[in-house]
Each structure stands twice: as structure tokens, then as C-alpha cells.
């Protein structure tokens, strides 16, 4: 056993000012249609409408590229951690022992077949010059150029395998693979003697996988949430508080 394993979600980064992009804040208009994040953040959208896909992600990145880690990130910096967040704040807080299971928006990969494993590298969002206040159409052209997306044989803009770039983010129609270190994450879960869920609504698959692993192995579970979901499991303990309150409790205890 390897001790405590933390699995964190959006609630950990909320006090840093990271928007959730849920509800009305998450909608994106293309033409006359509004899209939800679950519709925008898909491989199909990237393949069929790369300009709007990249503009959406660019505006997500631009909205929090200067955001700083908060006290929870710093408290977690020496903990074993799997985060659902793509903001990169755990790494910026100094955590050398974490897995960003949904990727990181400050990284990119080559556009490859979904099961291919490769090493992410730094994204080039910051190379987009905003000093001239470009409009959305100008931004789209710049993004298509930076991500190496050109017209295909049918005169349609489309990413090309092995050439174009893709944000290092697990999309809603993609599955967990070793590109996102899934095998390593499963090993961490199986070897933990306690799994602590912090700031997550249990609405994504990784939390379901972790819970199934805990139940199958009889691993203790803690849930840190002001309004936690109640589980039918006799080895779970609830901390009805924020992530920051939990960290303060642990510091003083």
C-alpha cells in the first residue's frame, strides 16, 4: 500500500478563479446555434469545425493563464494526486507526483489516432499576438496556422494525422488511454490504502473507476464536499466542508 491518494476536481481550483464553464457560462455560439461544453469539447467538433474548436479552447486558456495556485494546491503539493482539472495549477504549485488524468490545456500533442501514446509539449497559445485586438475571425486564422490545420483535398479545413496539433485535453468522445497515464493511475488506485475525493461532483468516469477500485479492494474512502453524495459503502467517511476547510483541519490536527 502507498498511503493516501487524492482525487481532485473543479472545487479545488474554484477559489483560484477558474471558471467551471458550466451552465450559461459554458455555452458557445457558432452561427445561430448554441453549443454546450459537452458538444464543443469533442474530437468530432475538432475534426469538423477546427476553427471554432480552437477558438473556444483559446478563450478558455486566455481566461485563466495568469491565475495562481491557491492554498489547497500548495497543501497538496507533496501528496500523491490524480486531478481531473486541466488548469495545470498542481504542477505550478510544485507537485511532482501527480497525474493530470484529463490532460493540461497548457500542453499540446500531435493529432494522432486515439490510442497512440506520445509526449505532450508546451502549447503555443501565448504566441497569439493580442496586442492588435484581433476579432474572432482573425484569431481563428492565427490558431489554424499555429495548430497546422489546412484545407484538405475536398477544400475543407480539417486536422491531419501526424501533422496537425491538438490541445492535450481528454475530449468527451475520447476514452482514457496511456496518453493520459491511465495505467499508472489505475496502479495508484489499487495500491492506495485510502482514496480521498476532494472538490469533485462524481460526474466523470475517473471517479467511478476509483470508487469501483476502492470497493473491490476494501480501500477506505473520504469525501470532502459541503454537500457530498452519499455512497452505499461502509468504508466511507464524509467531511462536509470545502477543500480549504479540510486542508486547514488537517494542518491543525
Catalytic residue numbers? 102
Of 15, 3, 186, nearest to 85 (Cα)?
Answer: 15
Question: Rounded to whole angstroms, how far apart are CA atoms 114 and 55?
Answer: 22
Three cell numbers at 224? 470532502
Q: Return the C-alpha torsion angle 27, 163, 99, 243, nearest 10.
A: -20
Q: Which of 87, 84, 83, 36 is nearest to 64 (CA)?
A: 87
Which class for 198: exposed (0-12), middle (13-18), buried (19 or more C-beta within 10 A)? buried
For the chain, first and last CA: distance in Å?
Answer: 23
Residue pair 15/70 in contact (Cβ under 8 Å)? The answer is yes
Contact (Cβ atoms closer than 8 angstroms) between residue 235 and residue 225 = no
Could you tell me if 65 and 16 are in contact, meaning their C-beta atoms sit under 8 angstroms apart? no
Amino acid at each position: 500500500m502507498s498511503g493516501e491518494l487524492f482525487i481532485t476536481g473543479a472545487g479545488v481550483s474554484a477559489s483560484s478563479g477558474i471558471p467551471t464553464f458550466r451552465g450559461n457560462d459554458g455555452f458557445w455560439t457558432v452561427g445561430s446555434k448554441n453549443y454546450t461544453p459537452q458538444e464543443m469539447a469533442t474530437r468530432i467538433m475538432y475534426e469538423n469545425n477546427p476553427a471554432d474548436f480552437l477558438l473556444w479552447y483559446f478563450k478558455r486558456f486566455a481566461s485563466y493563464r495568469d491565475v495562481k495556485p491557491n492554498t489547497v494546491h500548495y497543501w497538496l503539493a507533496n501528496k500523491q494526486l490524480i486531478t481531473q482539472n486541466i488548469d495545470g495549477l498542481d504542477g505550478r504549485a510544485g507537485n511532482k507526483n501527480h497525474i493530470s488524468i484529463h490532460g493540461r490545456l497548457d500542453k499540446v500533442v500531435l493529432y494522432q489516432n486515439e490510442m497512440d501514446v506520445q509526449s505532450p509539449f508546451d502549447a503555443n497559445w501565448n504566441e497569439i499576438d493580442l496586442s492588435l485586438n484581433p476579432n474572432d475571425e482573425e484569431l481563428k486564422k492565427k490558431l489554424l496556422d499555429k495548430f497546422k490545420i489546412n484545407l484538405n483535398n475536398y477544400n475543407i479545413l480539417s486536422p491531419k494525422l501526424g501533422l496537425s496539433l491538438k490541445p492535450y485535453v481528454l475530449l468527451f468522445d475520447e476514452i482514457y488511454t496511456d496518453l493520459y497515464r491511465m495505467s499508472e493511475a489505475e496502479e495508484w488506485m489499487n495500491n492506495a490504502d485510502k482514496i480521498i475525493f476532494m472538490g469533485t461532483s462524481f460526474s466523470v468516469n475517473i471517479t467511478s473507476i476509483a470508487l469501483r477500485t476502492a470497493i473491490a479492494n476494501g480501500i477506505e474512502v473520504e469525501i470532502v464536499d459541503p454537500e457530498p453524495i452519499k455512497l452505499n459503502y461502509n468504508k466511507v467517511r464524509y467531511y462536509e466542508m470545502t477543500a480549504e476547510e479540510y486542508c486547514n483541519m488537517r494542518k491543525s490536527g
